[in-house]
Amino acid sequence: MALGTVLNKNEKKALLSFIFIYTLSSIILMLIIALLYYTKELDTQKNACKTDLQKSILSVELDLIKAQLNGEKFIYNSKNYPLAIGLYDIKGNTIASSLKYKDINLKEQMCDKAPRVQFVKKLNRSIQGVSFIVAEDSSMSKNIKNLKYLIFLALFFSSIFIAFIGYLLSILLLKPIKEKINQIDHFIKDSAHEINTPVTALLMSVSALKKKGFGEEKLLRHIAISSKQISDIYNTLSHVAFSDIKKQDEIVEFDLKKEILKSIHFYKEIGEAKNVQIIDNLSASYIKMDKLDAQKLINNLLSNAIKFSHNDTSITISLKEDIVVIEDKGIGIKEKNLKEILKRYKRGTEQIGGFGIGLDIVNSICQNYDIKLTIHSKEGEGSTFELDFASVSFK
């Protein structure tokens, strides 16, 4: 990428949109200018053509008058005149003609039917039997074609130039923003890396204290819940921070039921803090994918279900024939937000905290494995998320 700027998918989309709008608006402006120029130039060429036709007719008329004054018979020679000439009597009969196009209307003074322009002059009195002189110019059509071709080339190369300038301008505008974003990205990556070690140590320490029976049970429970919530935040930050680093998926065969049970065990204490019970109805289901991605799917949906559930309610998670259904009795999602809820940083409500990243993670993993995600929700009554793992299932 020019100027040392590497753009991500969203930035490329914004860049292309800017170039498209900038180029399109410039082309429209150029088209208007080109149309005005074409109209003006066309009028100029028509006037010039008319003048040339009239000059040729006048030249023939003077030669006719000169021949009559000298008592000579006028003999038409096309080589003596720059344009094609036709001479006609009062009844429209041809006396002499070098006209290429014979379909002439002597009652019409000027005819500009492509590909020629003809001008008709009726003499005040016949001269040697000539009552009408017609001049013809066949170059007008060619001149108009050349004009159109010239305008087209000018528009084409101008559009390329404008698009290139738009690209350079957008890169220059994005560069300082990109540098600032890179600084923030580095900070988030460093922070996520530093958080990982103490969070892991904290979870292990709480688990060890519980096993040995040290400390007050209620206090340890609060510490465990807080530690798991911090771990959730770390996982979210980690996904955002390191999503640009392509990893090799470790595709393995495993029983999805076992991974769901691990997630339920992990979030059980967090649910209990709100008196939210997690009810499971699971059947064995063997799938083939990265186990870590499967855990992220279930963890994010289960975490969201607990977060948005009302106190003293329950969450049901079922697994049957490769389909996982997670149903909560929470605040639900407004119908107008259902299409937007899967986008990053979009939240169903501003009343409850969060980064608005969880469902974006779910959606990106589903797209990666062609897992069908279906959402049913009613505001104030709860939400149901359905995952169809048929695409990664194996029997």
- Kindly report the CA angle at 377 between 373 and 379, in degrees rounded to 5? 155
Residue 293's domain comprises 248-392
Residues 253 and 136 in one domain: no
Q: What average pLDDT does this structure show over 56-84?
A: 89
For residue 12, what is the enclosing H or E element? helix 9-69
Q: Is the distance from CB of 122 to CB of 9 less than 8 angstroms?
A: no
Mean residue pLDDT of the chain comes to 80
392 or 12, which is more confident: 392
Q: What average pLDDT does this structure show over 227-243?
A: 63
- Is the pLDDT at 4 greater than 50? The verdict is no
Residues 254 and 386 in one domain: yes
Phi/psi at 252 (5° precision): -135, 165
Q: Which of 113, 142, 171 represents a domain boundary (last residue)? A: 142
Q: What average pLDDT does this structure show over 372-391?
A: 88
DSSP string covering 273-302: HTT-EEEEEE---EEEEEHHHHHHHHHHHH
How many domains does one find in the chain? Answer: 2
- Is the pLDDT at 318 greater than 90? The verdict is yes
Flag whether 158 is in a domain.
no
Flag whether 181 is in a domain.
no
Least-confidence region, from 18-22, 316-320, 326-330: 18-22
Report pLDDT digits (tens) over 176-223.
Answer: 777 776 776 666 666 665 665 566 666 676 666 666 666 566 666 666
- Is the pLDDT at 305 greater than 90? The verdict is no
- Kindly report the CA angle at 268 between 267 and 269, in degrees rounded to 5? 95
Q: Quick one: pLDDT at residue 232?
A: 64
Q: Quick one: pLDDT at residue 331?
A: 85
Residues 120 and 254 in one domain: no
Flag whether 329 is in a domain.
yes
Q: Quick one: pLDDT at residue 195?
A: 64
Q: Quick one: pLDDT at residue 3?
A: 42
- State how far the Cα of 306 lies from the Cα of 288, in Å rounded to an integer: 28
Q: What average pLDDT does this structure show over 113-136?
A: 87
DSSP three-state, residue 312: coil
DSSP three-state, residue 334: coil
Measuring CA to CA, which residue among 254, 279, 253 is closest to residue 264? 279
Scan for tokens 């120029």, then name that residue.
37
Report pLDDT digits (tens) over 254-282.
Answer: 999 999 998 888 888 788 888 889 999 99
Scan for tokens 């010039």, then name that residue.
48
- State how far the Cα of 289 lies from the Cα of 250, in Å rounded to an integer: 7
Flag whether 126 is in a domain.
yes
- Is the pLDDT at 349 greater than 60? The verdict is no
Write down the H helix ranges in 102-216: 139-212
Q: What average pLDDT does this structure show over 131-141?
A: 86
Q: Quick one: pLDDT at residue 237?
A: 62
Q: What average pLDDT does this structure show over 277-297?
A: 89
DSSP three-state, residue 138: coil
Q: Which of 88, 116, 142 represents a domain boundary (last residue)? A: 142
Q: Measure CA of the first residue to CA of the last residue in the chain; give whole Å.
A: 46
Structure token pair of residue 130: 């000539």
Residue 271 is part of a domain; what is its CATH number?
3.30.565.10
Q: Quick one: pLDDT at residue 388?
A: 92
Residues 131 and 267 in one domain: no
Residues 136 and 252 in one domain: no
- pLDDT tier for residue 295 given thresholds of 50, 70 and 90: confident
pTM given for the model? 0.50
Least-confidence region, from 2-11, 158-167, 246-255, 292-301: 2-11
Q: Which of 95, 123, 142 represents a domain boundary (last residue)? A: 142
